[in-house]
Chain A
Amino acid sequence: MVALEGISKAFDSAPVLRGVSFAFPERAVTALSGPSGSGKTTLLNIMLGLVAPDEGAVRMPVGARMAAVFQEDRLIEHFSAARNLRLTTPKDISDREILEALRELDLAPDDQKRVAKYSGGMRRRVAIARAALFKPDVLLLDEPFTGLDEDARRRAVEFLKRRCGSATVVLVSHDRDEAALMGAVGELRLDGEGGGRA
């Protein structure tokens, strides 16, 4: 079970999150919503262990593997797409599987170009492939489909469902259609004043 227990966080004494508690349904998608600046990304960063909460704790299953599609692509610019994926993918995932993932996302698997030369949509797809190939138990998606056209978005959603079907997924998106497309079963809404409700 992934759960938030009374998470509070303030930046420069301005509270962003105030006692947020929530139990994420296991192996299902939960939408994380709220107005801009309501602390969605901060909450994801706390869950990833990148930011320490001022109060409260995140409960995770022991040894759970977490992956994320960050708001920015965070790719290694001078690496090719395949090399970016090889860097983060566990050793037991074969090179062939990496190439197959790229193909599924409509990216040329034998492309040796640096990702710095890729378009925004292509880079986004590489970031999605990276998260999925990590075989996460918990997957945090921070506006993962930004910059993708309708068709690419549909493909990416199918890809994530197929590859991460057994993961507990938290999806930040301003688009209700995206949450529906991903099959979100619950929602944690941050109210912009630090609070959150299911």
Chain B
Amino acid sequence: MKPISTSPKTKNRLLRAGAIAFWLAAWQLLSMAVKQELLLVSPVSACKTLIRLMGERAFYDAVLGSFGRILAGFALGGALAVVLAALARAFFPVRVLLGPLMSTVKATPVASFVILALIWIRSTNLSVFISFLMVLPITYANVLDGLDGADPKLLEMAKVFRVRIPGRVRAIYAPAAFPMLLTAVRVSLGMCWKAGIAAEVIAQPKNSIGSALQQAKLFFATPEMFAWTLATILLSVLFEHAAVLLITALRRRMEGRSWSR
């Protein structure tokens, strides 16, 4: 019989699926051992509840509400971080000025921001602001690292041949910054969701996953809490994949552009 050969990519996927199956089985066994759905819901119950919730309009209102707010915060923070990193790379005083600010934002507990921001910001916009703060310092630091890593010999070449700023960005800076930007997106997106939903739990905006979680907690609806958590994890993973695909497509587009003017 001919041996079945698997590509490294397929093998990797199988291994990852196996790891997920292992942890789901561990969760199931643990919940069976605890025997109290109120304390620890089984994955089967959580999935059943999620499927039930997905049949209700309120689920989509909450998902879309949270998604919109977190996406807005992520996009605003990411865009501003890229602009600030470019300015910091170009002007040393900007780098010096932004250094302590970014370090402070990165180190400040989310809860402190939430409590302080609630005084100034409407509860609907709180998770936008919190997501923005999560993505800003990480993306700023990573993109700046990437820009600093641009090949100095190529920059000298660009100087000698009087290559204009847009050309330098396309040819030298963007390829240096893209890998770091991808890392920043991967790291900060998960944090955006975590902190954004936490902010919603405190601020209780209408149509949000955070509010739904809080409601579930008040009524000891543990399966619903797990179902909403599961939904958040799935959304976060999907969002991350979409963002990575988008950035990769942007990079390919920039690299594969027609050469002619």
**Taking beta carbons and an 8 Å cutoff, which residues of A are in contact with B?**
48-50, 66-68, 70, 72, 74, 76, 78-80, 82-83, 86-88, 91, 95, 130, 134
Are A95 and B261 in contact (CB-based, < 8 A)? yes
Given contacts A74-B154, A80-B259, contact A87 B160 (CB under 8 A): no
Given contacts A76-B171, A78-B175, A87-B171, contact A68 B261 (CB under 8 A): no
Are B261 and A91 in contact (CB-based, < 8 A)? yes
Are A74 and B163 in contact (CB-based, < 8 A)? no
B258: nearest chain-A partner, CB-CB: A83
Q: Provide the residues of chain B in CB contact with A50, threshold 8 Å.
A: 156, 159-160
Are A134 and B161 in contact (CB-based, < 8 A)? yes
User: When chains A and B are docked, how far (Å) is the Cα of A79 from the Cα of B170?
Assistant: 10
Question: CB-CB contacts of B146-173 with A at 8 A, as 1s and 0s?
Answer: 0000000110111111110001000110
Given contacts A74-B153, A78-B255, A83-B259, contact A130 B175 (CB under 8 A): no
Q: Distance in Å from the Cβ of A13 to the closest Cβ of chain B?
A: 23
24 A-B pairs within 8 Å (CB atoms) are namely: A48-B156, A48-B160, A49-B159, A50-B156, A66-B160, A70-B153, A70-B156, A74-B156, A74-B157, A76-B154, A76-B172, A78-B175, A79-B171, A79-B259, A82-B259, A83-B257, A86-B259, A87-B171, A88-B157, A88-B161, A88-B163, A95-B260, A95-B261, A130-B161
Q: Provide the residues of chain A in CB contact with B261, threshold 8 Å.
A: 86, 91, 95
User: When chains A and B are docked, how far (Å) is the Cα of A130 from the Cα of B255?
Assistant: 19
Q: Distance in Å from the Cβ of B163 to the closest Cβ of chain A?
A: 6
User: When chains A and B are docked, how far (Å) is the Cα of A88 from the Cα of B168?
Assistant: 10
User: When chains A and B are docked, how far (Å) is the Cα of A82 from the Cα of B260?
Assistant: 8
Q: Distance in Å from the Cβ of B15 to the closest Cβ of chain A?
A: 31
Q: Provide the residues of chain B in CB contact with A86, threshold 8 Å.
A: 259-261
Most A CB atoms within 10 A — which of B167, B172, B259, B261?
Answer: B259
**What number of B residues sit within 8 Å (CB to CB) of A?**
19
Q: Provide the residues of chain A in CB contact with B259, threshold 8 Å.
A: 79-80, 82-83, 86
Q: Provide the residues of chain B in CB contact with A67, threshold 8 Å.
A: 160-161
B152: nearest chain-A partner, CB-CB: A50
B170: nearest chain-A partner, CB-CB: A87
Q: Provide the residues of chain B in CB contact with A76, threshold 8 Å.
A: 154, 171-172
Report the 9 A-B pairs with minimum CB-CB distance, sorted nearest first.
A83-B259, A88-B161, A74-B157, A76-B171, A82-B259, A95-B260, A78-B255, A86-B259, A50-B156
A86: nearest chain-B partner, CB-CB: B259
Q: Distance in Å from the Cβ of B241 to the closest Cβ of chain A?
A: 24
Q: Distance in Å from the Cβ of A79 to the closest Cβ of chain B?
A: 7
Q: Provide the residues of chain B in CB contact with A134, threshold 8 Å.
A: 161
Most B CB atoms within 10 A — which of A48, A72, A83?
Answer: A83
Q: Provide the residues of chain B in CB contact with A91, threshold 8 Å.
A: 261
Q: Provide the residues of chain B in CB contact with A80, threshold 8 Å.
A: 259
B172: nearest chain-A partner, CB-CB: A76
Are A72 and B153 in contact (CB-based, < 8 A)? yes
Q: Provide the residues of chain A in CB contact with B172, threshold 8 Å.
A: 76
Q: Provide the residues of chain A in CB contact with B160, threshold 8 Å.
A: 48, 50, 66-68
User: When chains A and B are docked, how far (Å) is the Cα of A66 from the Cα of B167?
Assistant: 19
Given contacts A50-B156, A72-B153, contact A87 B163 (CB under 8 A): yes
Q: Provide the residues of chain A in CB contact with B175, threshold 8 Å.
A: 78
User: When chains A and B are docked, how far (Å) is the Cα of A6 from the Cα of B242?
Assistant: 60
Q: Distance in Å from the Cβ of A84 to the closest Cβ of chain B?
A: 8
Are A70 and B171 in contact (CB-based, < 8 A)? no
User: When chains A and B are docked, how far (Å) is the Cα of A95 from the Cα of B160?
Assistant: 21
User: When chains A and B are docked, how far (Å) is the Cα of A141 from the Cα of B146?
Assistant: 31
User: When chains A and B are docked, how far (Å) is the Cα of A66 from the Cα of B161?
Assistant: 8
Which residues in window 210-261 of B have CB below 8 A to A? Answer: 255, 257, 259-261
Q: Provide the residues of chain A in CB contact with B257, threshold 8 Å.
A: 83
